[in-house]
Chains A and B, each alone.
Chain A
Amino acid sequence: MDTPATIPIPRYHRWLPFWAVLQTDLRQTLRSWVWRTWVLAVVSSSIGFLLYRFGVYREAKILQGASVLVGDLMRWTVLGSVTLVVLLTVGAIASERGTLADAVLSRGISRYQYFLAKLHARLATVLVTFVVLSALVLTSSHFLLHEDLSMLGCLVAVTAMAVILTLVVSCGVTIGALSGSTAVGVGVLWLSLYASGFVLSFLPARYPTPDRVLAMLPQILRGEFDWLALKQMMQVGLVSSAVMALVGMIGFSRSDV
């Protein structure tokens, strides 16, 4: 044989596989029972809580500070959401183990692209859902409760919560990519979150750990916060999130599927 096997490679878009996985995952996630349950639970509990407090004010004339109520609501929303966010993120890759190799990874997509597409899809879903729901709660509280919220405080509070959720999402997708099944992944992530929370509780009080930030939400919403400490927490959260994603991406690209 004299002619070489090299045949001109057809035109292709380098990042199209990334967008294909991202779009498909977004569509799948929005149709999933986990996401729908999350939204339904947050919306119904928020409506119930706000109406109850509004009723208390109307009937008993007990004045409720919006910052306290919204802070409580956001804290319990985040803590309650984490259960479903863990499921949503660990399952991103782990739940597709059966068909992942044959249907997707045997095609023209790299492991890096696949992992990044999944991570970004779940990040977008979780963060957009959280921000939209928080915005609705804050807007409702403006009309229903005694207003003592500061615009900047609200922005900072939502951003800080979003950073915590970003870290949870990165950990979830990474653990899902490295574990054999969703159930194992969920177990590992829950243990890791509890263990991290326990270890962080030993830090001196000046460090704004996630649980301390959650406890400080009413003050933050009123605009009474230590910006430098919060900024530090957010920076550490984002860097940790990026490191987790990097670990997941490298680990996933080195594993058999």
Chain B
Amino acid sequence: MAENVGDLVVETTRLTKIYQNRQIALNDVSLRIERGWVLGLLGPNGAGKTTFLRLCLGLHRPTAGFVKVFGKKMTPNAAVLRRRIGYIPTNPQFPKGMTPISYLDYMARLFGLPRDVRKPRLASLIRAVDLLAGSGNTIAGFSNGMTARLAVAASLINEPDLLIWDEPTLGLDIEARRSMLDLIKTLAREKTLILSSHNLSDIDEVCNHAAVLSQGKLIFSGSLQDLKGRIRKNHYELDLDGDQKAIAKAVSTLKGHNEVKAAQLRQRRLDLRLNEEAPNTAVLGHVFHVLNENKVTLISIRSVGQQTEQAFLDLVEKEESKGFTRLYQPAEAA
């Protein structure tokens, strides 16, 4: 936790957004984001992720609660706070008649940057995001990848301390996605980032903290390790080699072990589920011993499921299964 208020980059308190008394987009969200965090904002479609980000930017006004950014309350007129934020929306749209140079110049002027600062900076950014060749062309003819790169440049033109990127890898090809993730890792060394994404492997790769929203409610916030710690443990897949009868015999032996919940053989792949509370190292030691006794070779072993994804799914499933008891149980969010 932050030791003093200065460490908090974003702080939301009982943040609630109800649209025209018809739709509850966000429900009582209290979240603290500290300096240096790379926060992955997770949640199914309609969970309230974009609403949360828009409230943080002052584009929407909270129905109840408030957002503080850099220790000050965010409002639609808080231009001073937004000067320290770089934002990429989902599917960014740009004025089609502008060129990258004129667009970035416009963005820089919207941040109040004087000519002697903005001109060199936009030139560096255009070079950095590899748009030099297309810098004289209008944005109308840009591909998704080029548009994404321009959005990155626009979000960095003011050298922000906080970056809010809403699904930055959406619609990018493999190469562009890889470049984006590498850029995020580089930026994470000196900036605070909030990333909303459906792609959990991206979050897993670049984030050190996560917040999970479900139906407008914050159901988890904490480190990524904490999130992963909540997954269903002790589910493994083993690729085996050796005599088929020997493998079958080993599996049969394993099924008799108290701590083995299920052992299912498909061809030469063993799907092994251990009891939740079992110390996995001890049981796996026994598994290796049995395989060795039966002269079965282990080719590979892996923990089943993409860990963050599994943890996320578990959380959402658990939240939904609570039903009406949610009324009386405090949220698990920190």
Number of interface residues of A (CB under 8 A): 40
Q: What's the Cα separation between A103 and B158 when bound, in Å?
A: 14
Give which listed residue, B8, B57, B59, B111, contacts A17 with CB less than 8 A. Answer: B111
CA distance A3 to B190 in the complex (A): 13
* B171 CB, min distance to chain A CBs, angstroms: 15
A110 CB-CB contact with B under 8 Å? yes
Q: Does A4 belong to the interface (CB within 8 Å)? A: yes
Query: B331 to chain A: which residues have CB within 8 Å?
Result: none
Q: A11-B114, A20-B109 are in contact. Are A103 and B35 (CB under 8 A)?
A: no
Is A24 interfacial (CB-CB < 8 Å)?
A: yes
A179 → chain B, closest Cβ, in Å? Answer: 15
Beta-carbon contact of B7 and A4 below 8 Å = yes
Given contacts A4-B4, A12-B83, A108-B83, contact A19 B109 (CB under 8 A): yes
Q: Judging by beta carbons under 8 Å apart, are B111 and A253 in contact?
A: no
A58 adjacent to chain B (CB < 8 Å): no
Overall SS of chain B's interface? loop
Give the interface SS of chain A, mostly helix, strand, loop or mixed.
Answer: loop
Number of interface residues of B (CB under 8 A): 46
**0/1 per residue, A11-43, Cβ < 8 Å to B?**
111111101110010000000000000000000
Q: How far is the CA of A1 from the CA of B9 in the complex (A)?
A: 13
Is A102 engaged at the interface, CB distance under 8 Å to the other chain? Answer: yes
Chain A interface (Cβ within 8 Å of chain B)?
1-7, 9-17, 19-21, 24, 98-99, 101-113, 253-257
Kindly list 16 other residue pairs between chains A and B, CB separation below 8 angstroms, not including A2-B3, A254-B76. Answer: A3-B6, A5-B6, A5-B71, A9-B80, A12-B111, A12-B113, A19-B109, A20-B109, A102-B89, A107-B82, A107-B87, A110-B77, A111-B76, A254-B61, A255-B61, A256-B59
Show the binding face of B for A, using Cβ within 8 Å: 2-4, 6-9, 19, 34-36, 54, 57, 59-61, 70-71, 76-80, 82-85, 87, 89, 92-95, 106-107, 109-114, 117, 158-159, 161, 192
